[in-house]
Structure 1
Amino acid sequence: MNEPVLFLLLLLALGFLAKNKSLIVAIVVLLAIKLVGLDQKVLPIIQSKGINWGVTVITIAVLAPIASGEIGFRQLVGSLQSLSAWVALASGIFVALIAKNGVTLLANDPHMTAALAFGTILAVSLFHGVAVGPLIGAGIAYTVIKMVEYF
């Protein structure tokens, strides 16, 4: 058995132990791609485009209430009358800016991907986190690295 399959099986076991369906599905899909023999063609595409696809799917999910009519201008204006909405607005801006720097870091320093991916896997499998971590994690890492370089 080769190392990638063994590693994925170990992560699959972690996924089952943590009862994390997203991690289980992701690993099963990756194992299926490898077992069918499409890994040389498909995995590079997933690796290079997957984050963008994921961001697109998340964006669609976030915008779905607008498309369905559940959220309109009235709700937007009404929500901005509370402090928590302004905190959410600022948080959204902050996270988007941090994530932008994460893309830069991952593009310029690809070896960081392994550490970030492992951190995300640990958080998802052991702490029931959500797998948006690599991009945000890279953004935070970029910010910390730049701060350290500055001082």
Structure 2
Amino acid sequence: MFSQPILFLLLLLGIALIAKNQSLMIAVGVLIVLKLAGVDGKVFSFIQGKGINWGVTIITIAVLAPIASGAIGFKDLIEALKSPYAWIALLAGMAVALIAKNGLILLEDDPHITTALVLGTILAVSLFNGVAVGPLIGAGIAYLAMKLFEMFT
């Protein structure tokens, strides 16, 4: 009656409900509806191909919204750069972006690693109230860790 993907999604929905994670509930709910509507074949491959870029774009819009609204301006930027914490944040932002760049390569090239990363993200989101930006930066961190592991083995 129920296929393996539907059962897996229902399990994830249960975890989302227990953890009260609205983002995961919505994501799983949308996927279940698409699957049950029978449009999953083309839609899922399209989402897989474009979804990360959409997500990054939406997060970028959210981060830039205070600039667009005028809540943050050049004066704020200049003031912030006087703080050592701002320089730490600047360097951290650069590091994360550079690490995540390699994560894209890993997500595209290694499906079994992607499965583990997605599971790790789901667990962090559902059990620890994490945020689902994890697969991309997680892949970047995994890529970096794998390269370090290769250097020492």
| TM-score (ref. length: structure 1) | 0.98
Aligned residue pairs total 151
Give CA deviations for 1:39-64 in whole Å, capped at 9, x if unaligned. 01100011111000000000000011
Q: Which residue of 2 aligns with 1:87?
A: 88
Distance 2:94 2:5 in 1: 37
- Quote the offset at 1:22 in angstroms: 0.2
For structure 2, list consecutive stretches of 5 or more residues without a partner in the other structure.
none
Q: Which residue of 2 aligns with 1:36?
A: 37
Percent sequence identity is: 64
Give CA deviations for 1:108-132 in whole Å, capped at 9, x if unaligned. 2122110000000000000000001
Distance 1:104 1:7 in 2: 26
Instruction: Map residues 1-151 of structure 1 onto 2, 5 A cutoff.
Output: 1-151=2-152
Give CA deviations for 1:92-151 in whole Å, capped at 9, x if unaligned. 001101100100111221221100000000000000000011111110110011112223
| TM-score (ref. length: structure 2) | 0.96
User: CA RMSD of the aligned region, Å?
Assistant: 0.7
SS of alignment partner, residue 111 of structure 1: helix
